[in-house]
Amino acid sequence: MRRLLLSILVLMALAAGLLVAGNFGWGPLVITREDEQKLILRLSQARRVTQPGLSLRWPLIETVQVYDRRWLYLNTEAQAMQTKEGEQLKIDNYAIWRIDDAVLFRRSFPGGMPVAEERLDRAVRDDVREVIGRHTLTEILRDKRDEIVEQIRARTRETVAPFGIGIADVRINRTELPEETMGAVYARMKTERERLAKKNRAEGEEQARRIRAEAERDARVTVANAERDAMILRGKGDAEAARIYAEAYGQDQEFYVFLRSLEAYRKTIDARTTLVLSPKAEFFRFLESGSPDRAAAAPPVSAPPP
């Protein structure tokens, strides 16, 4: 019984030792966590990649190299890049990446993670510079920002895929103008705004001239129509007055002649008027007393023109 218990204890101790050794990469057991992947090397040649859990290996013959399975973050420093218009921009970016194929990764970067990150940083920076050089400043900052980022992401994925690297995302952090070119850009922007202002003012003045010309034309047409209507109305009024005069004259010619004579006296004779005429003159026939026959015998005064 004691031997059995002792054997069990020895086996348990041996198992625990194997587990501990496997956790540190020793012994025949290889323990792989969820956030890592382990590459089994035989005589420095990659053989296989372990999955999370327990795996076996040949001690002393096979060695283990550990790689991260998680998504990693790589940030780059700001670099000067030139746009399609020749503008200089300072752009920094970052990449989210991971090791998709540990065998390809070790074959491509035997120096390990520092060499891989340097190569990835250079690839991302080259792709960003290539895409930025095909677009204008306005497209980069506003019009095609998302499209440009997608182009950079696709190019970077294609570039680093042969190295066993997968890309989740590539983004531009900041886009700034260098201090030495900022003044020139502002001056050009000011010139462009002034050009647009002059263009708008010229178009406004042209519209104002057209509106004034149309208003003056409409005013002349309105005045001409009003004068035409006024002349028509005056002509009708004069015709109506002539008709009334004619009717009045036809009803009582003697009274009409008398009335017209009085109007003639009032218009021609005042306190300063001196007339040298014969008393028998026809003009004074209504001033004589007691001679109605003469007044009646006098020729009638013609009706005034309408």
* DSSP notation for 137-190: HHIIIIITHHHHHHHHHHHHHHHHGGGTEEEEEEEEEEEE--HHHHHHHHHHHH
Alpha helix positions (H), 175-270: 179-251, 253-268
CB-CB neighbours of 155 under 10 Å:
19
| pLDDT band, very low/low/confident/very high, at 226 (cuts 50, 70, 90) | very high
Q: pTM, whole model, 2 decimals?
A: 0.51
In the prediction, which pLDDT does 110 show?
Answer: 86
Is the CB of residue 269 less than 8 Å from the CB of residue 256? no
- pLDDT, tens digit (0-9, with 9 covering 90-100), for 159-218: 999 999 999 998 888 777 766 666 776 777 788 899 999 999 999 999 999 999 999 999
Q: Which of 85-89, 91-95, 202-206, 234-238 has the lowest mean pLDDT?
A: 85-89
- Indicate the SS3 state at residue 284: helix
Q: What is the domain partition of the chain in residue ranges?
A: 2-68, 72-177, 198-251, 253-297
Between 244 and 287, name the one with better pLDDT: 244
Q: Which residues make Cβ contacts (< 8 Å) with residue 23, sequence separation at least 6?
A: 31
| pLDDT band, very low/low/confident/very high, at 50 (cuts 50, 70, 90) | confident
| pLDDT band, very low/low/confident/very high, at 254 (cuts 50, 70, 90) | confident
Q: Which CATH superfamily is domain 72-177 in?
A: Band 7 domain (3.30.479.30)
Name the average pLDDT for the chain. 79
In the prediction, which pLDDT does 283 show?
Answer: 64
